Structure 1
Amino acid sequence: MIADGAPGRARRPWWPLLFVAVATAIMLPELLWGLSASDSYRYNLLWTDEFTSQFAAGNPWPRWLSQSWDGLGAPTFYHYPPLFFWVAALIRTPLFHLVGAQAAASLASLLILAASGGAMYLWLRRFGSPIAALVGALAYEAAPYHLYDIFARGSLAEASAYAALPLVPMAIDRIADRRRGGVALLAGGYALLVLGHMPSALLASISLIPAYFLYRVRPLGAAVALRGAGGILLGLALSAAYLWPAIELLPFTLSEAFGGAWFDPLNWAFWTPQRWPSAGRAMLNILFASTALIATIAAFFGRRSDADRGALRFWALLAIALFLLIAGFPPMLWQISQMTMVQFPARLMPDADFVAITALVIARPPLARPLTIAALLLAIMGWLVMAQTMIGRTYGVRSIAARSQALVLDDRRDAPTFLPAAVPMPIAPDERFGANPSLVRLPERGWLVRGQGARISVSQDGERIDATVETPSATTLVARRYAYPIWRVRDERGSIIVPTAQPVTGLVTWPTPAGRHHYRLEPGPAPGERASLLVSFLALMLLGLTLWQPRRTSLRKVLPFTARTSS
């Protein structure tokens, strides 16, 4: 019997267990006292509950949340990325009667936290000793902004960007070094980033990713550059099943709900404190961004080897560029329509943390240097603030947690940003927090038939609804479902009727002639949904081809007599 560590037996890696242990310690407040009372508590609870419920019932990608808005429905996951909620669904499905939505969300955060540490460790171990890589990965896993995303803002999808981000530069390195699997890793990593959080993917695509791609690939010629570009395009194709419908359906949503001072990127610019929607939040953004910048500069000036000068110069310049972007510079960039939908420039913090920790692991600067001490003190300050936030947002509200959950699950008021365009705005878009879900007027339960003497009977099987109408004159039928381009109506002859949105309520409506008629209302694919699924499927097949390489066997080994003989 061979003992661990003896020749002849590979030692099993132990570091994944460490990342899981640290993630468990971080998520302990939620595991003990419930889901954090974050800015997005309502949506984290609602979305996790229905997404995982539909997943457990056999729907692998729940896009229409039928229970939202008191049963009116919402197209939430036609627009919101699904990666985090897939993880939560995979946790909750086998334990559905034992694990609630809150616990599933917390456990999903735990797993994704651990995955972020593991991905960062795989990236960092090529730059230094295993211990340095491990410390850097743990710092990345527990970065203050990372915890801020989970416990204060409640942007669990954005927090998942920390796990996907290291895969992209790791893949670029493999392509630059002409190692096998680089294109596949780049495609998969970029697709995970998009499916994890689209704003984070967009921001990384205009900063970290192109900068590192040019730094590593540009000197190696056009062929290597084309492989890298092909990996990005393949990643976009893999995520087309999400991206295509999300873009095509954007005009059908209540885009005005994105308004409000809180969601204007320029209102968070560091140099305009008079416009800050929240001075406390803005000061935290400055603290987090300054910590990453000073840490990277400390690495540059504290390097131990001149051989690292070029790499550290690149990371330092990138850190300065990221700090300026987070600070709101240049202002014209944040006025572009696509960038305004990012809402918060601080969403570049995963990139800034990645850059800072990479530079520190490369340089391993002495702790006695003033810049290193300054960066460490700022990081400690950030961790202390987040420790207070983590306890306050869980233990501090435990007495009202059950009541809050009951209120949220009562009428299931979803995010106003995903309301159909025909629904009236809850409040004026220039208010501080934009649209308010509590002010949306919900219609009474039941169907409506516009016309005297009309009668209706309705039966429902899942989302398929059958309605029989008897009316002495032509009338209009109004179904208690929010109108969206997924609904299909067929009459008793099988003819398709195109429903419209009722102007006042935004509900599904269609004309009904006099007489007795039967209608079936059911959801179908959204515009671009089937085509986008086909594109993603073909991209997945192509990804498999890039990984599959037939094993080449020499003819001389198979047929020894074919060896060349001397003449």
Structure 2
Amino acid sequence: MSGLRLTNAGLAWLLAALVVATAALTPLLGVPVYGRNFGHDANFALTALHWMDSGIAAGRWWPRWVPETHWGLGGYTFYTYPPLAYWAAALLKRLSGLSVADTLALAVMLWRLGFLLGCYLWLRRHVAPAVALAAAALAALLPYAAVINPWMRFAHAELAGSAMLPFLLIAIERAAEHRDGRGLPGLALGFAALALTHLPTTALVAHVAPLYAWAYAGPRAALRTVAGGAAGAGLAACYLLPAAGLLRQANFEGLDDGTWERSLLGWSALRGTITWVQFILTVWIASALTVTAAVFFRWQAPAVSPLRRGSMLLLLAAAALMTVVSLPLWLLLPQLRSIEFPWRAAGLLTPALAGLAALALAAGGAWARRGVLALGLLGAALAPLYLLAVTQFGNPGWPRFLPAEERLARALSSPRGASPEHLPATAVAAGWRSLFDGTETSTGPEPHPRPVPPPGTTPLPAGFLVPEATVTFALPQFHFPGWQARDAAGQILPVRARADGFLEVVVDHPARGIRIEAGVTPWEWAGWAITGLSAAGLLGLGLWWRPRRAAAAALHGAG
């Protein structure tokens, strides 16, 4: 490239084209098959979208209890797993007419492009459009965003949550820039959308967002961010309250099972509980981004900039959460331990570096353009190089990519397509965790025989219809608090868990037309009530501020 003058605009369009090209690999190649460091969460993403779409087709737009999962024994998947990413994918499936696997591959590409757009809009508030696009494209090409989440993990919901982060940063800044509460509704919507998409990302952001706001505009901005987070939790209470209220009946793995210790850089490595792959990966991400950001900060970024202060503190906080430096916080705060993997904080390093890169480019130095170009080209090369390596040198016993219908069928039959975290606690106590001791294409033996329902029993979209019964009977579904039974006369029949984990309906009199359905729990009613009150309050706040803004504008115009 000797003699070729690289401008910010040329750099921006080149890197943006590389983002589109690498993101397009997913719909072109399809959903990867689980193997060594390849598509680790792909099976669950496929089955979750399949069950969400099937539930909507059956009239259940939010199928909290999924009767078909766990090989037809049911599970509480969408009681505790946020639904928004799968609502969006189900809508995309209906609009596009594609199969489940093809839709999911397309959704992953669109989330990545949404992250690019969000970063651009966020940085455009501070720098010129070309600079904003170049820095946003750099962020979208960094390892965690371009290789680890879409390929190594195929983390659909986390990709969706990452796409929302820049929009949340915009909402934080807008709220910080006002001296009143005008930015609170937008901030609450941003937090609520993130909570309904990916909880680990939400837990991370809840801890670092006030720090970003404080660095950006001072302590009052941090308090507004905390208030916006609380209001967002109120908006998302329809999901958060049932998820928290039913935690004791759920089989939540990750809070205190040591998962976070095995991934905390430094502490876990000294104890010998981390794999070398995890260790090298975490060191690579944290050190590369931190060193690069430090270089930008030292020689390129302006001395005074709210974006610089916010991005630097965001980067340092995220890097600290990945390492033993933050060990006291992990020990004291259970909400942090629920994140399971501290290296997820790498998702927050990415926009932080984008902010610093934008400032470096805005300073006008050719050195900064060359540095961003080099990092962008390296990021664009990582995805195809990684895919080439795993497809050419990976375990020859597993296929890399499959046609869409075959790919979904494989996921539905795989232990990795039904998460053990969505088994009810009573089922785990009865030994049903052994189902997940199989391999990619087989399962462990069932510990108990499935009960045979009464003659004539027919399935419902979320339950069963039993024509008549005179004695207590069990159904081939796991018990969970949402189950309800009522006969044709409207009389409620008690339900309970059997020792083998199955749902049992207590019949002490001849009953006809018994409907057993996964109904709405008290936690759900309470959650919807709080969501409604929160929405009404934020709407009222917005309406209250509208005439005040109009009056202020009129006064300013008269002056």
Alignment TM-score, normalising by the size of structure 2: 0.82
The question of whether the paired residues in 1 share the 8 Å contact of 2:213 and 2:310 is answered with: no
Deviation at 1:168, TM superposition (A): 2.6
Find out whether 1:125 has 2:124 as its counterpart: yes
- Where 2:465 maps in the other structure, the secondary structure is strand
Aligned partner of 1:139 in structure 2 is 138
2:448 equivalent to 1:447: no
**Change over 3 Å in CA distance of 1:248–1:183 after alignment to 2:** same
Question: What is the Cα deviation at residue 191 of structure 1?
Answer: 1.2
The alignment status of 1:328 with 2:332, answered yes or no, reads: no
| CA pair 423-304 structure 1, distance change in 2 beyond 3 A | closer
435, 443, 447: which one aligns with 1:438: 443
Contact 1:84–1:156 at 8 Å: present in 2 too?
yes
Return the offset for 1:479.
0.8
Bigger drift between 193-202 and 230-239 goes to 230-239
**Counterpart position of 2:507:** 512
Q: Is 1:354 the counterpart of 2:357 in the alignment? A: no
How far off is 1:415 after superposition?
0.4
How do 1:518-557 and structure 2 match up within 5 A?
Answer: 518-548=513-543, 549-550=546-547
Distance in 1 (alpha carbons) for counterparts of 2:390 and 2:84: 24
Match of 1:525, SS state, is coil
Is contact 2:93–2:103 with CA below 8 Å preserved after alignment? yes
What is the CA–CA distance in structure 1 between the aligned matches of 2:478 and 2:533, rounded to whole Å?
33
1:256 Cα deviation after fit: 4.9
| Partner AA of 2:192 in structure 1 | A
Instruction: Give 1:166's aligned residue.
Output: 166
What pairs up with 1:1-400 in 2 under 5 angstroms? Answer: 24-37=20-33, 38-95=39-96, 98-147=97-146, 148-178=148-178, 181-207=182-208, 209-218=209-218, 227-256=224-253, 263-270=259-266, 272-273=268-269, 275-303=272-300, 305-308=302-305, 312=308, 315-335=311-331, 336-364=333-361, 366=365, 368=367, 383-390=380-387, 397-398=399-400
Residues in 2 aligned to 1:47 and 1:545: alpha-carbon distance in whole angstroms: 36
Question: Aligned letter for 1:50?
Answer: W
Inter-CA distance 496–134: structure 2 relative to 1 (3 Å threshold): same
Tell me: CA distance 1:125–1:420, structure 2 relative to 1, closer, same or farther (3 Å). same
Instruction: State the partner residue of 1:560.
Output: none
- Residue 521 of structure 1, CA deviation: 0.7
Task: Please list the CA deviations of residues 3-59 of structure 1 after superposition, one character each: whole Å capped at 9, or x if unmatched.
Answer: xxxxxxxxxxxxx99999766523333322321231112101101111123224443
Q: For 1:415, give the aligned amino acid.
A: S
Structure showing the higher helix proportion among its residues = 2
The number of equivalent residue pairs is 519
Is the contact between residue 70 and residue 411 of structure 1 (CA under 8 Å) also seen in structure 2?
Answer: no
Quickly say closer, same or farther: Cα 1:17–1:459, change in 2 above 3 A. Answer: farther
Per mean C-alpha deviation after superposition, the further-off stretch among 238-247 and 398-407 is 398-407
| Preserved contact between residue 23 and residue 112 of structure 2 (Cα < 8 Å) | no
Give the unaligned 5+ runs of structure 1: 1-15, 449-454, 558-567
TM-score by length of 1: 0.81
Inter-partner Cα distance in structure 1 for 2:169 and 2:158: 19
Pick closer, same or farther for the CA change 1:19–1:84 going to 2, 3 Å. Answer: farther
Amino-acid identity (%): 25
Higher alpha-carbon deviation: 149-158 or 541-550: 541-550
Counterpart Cα distance in 2 of 1:541 and 1:516: 44
Q: Deviations over 1:440-482 (max 9, x none)?
A: 627656625xxxxxx63312332242224555xxx53111111
Conserved 8 A contact 2:66-2:77: yes
Q: Note closer, same or farther for the CA distance 1:363–1:399 as it changes in structure 2 (3 Å cut).
A: closer
Q: Distance in 1 between matches of 2:20 and 2:377?
A: 20
Secondary structure, aligned partner of 1:439: coil
Q: 1:303 to 1:552 in 2, by over 3 A?
A: closer
Deviation (angstroms), 1:312: 3.4
Distance of aligned partners of 1:343 and 1:165 in 2 relative to their CA distance in 1, 3 Å threshold: same
* Runs of 5+ unmatched residues, structure 2: 1-11, 34-38, 555-559
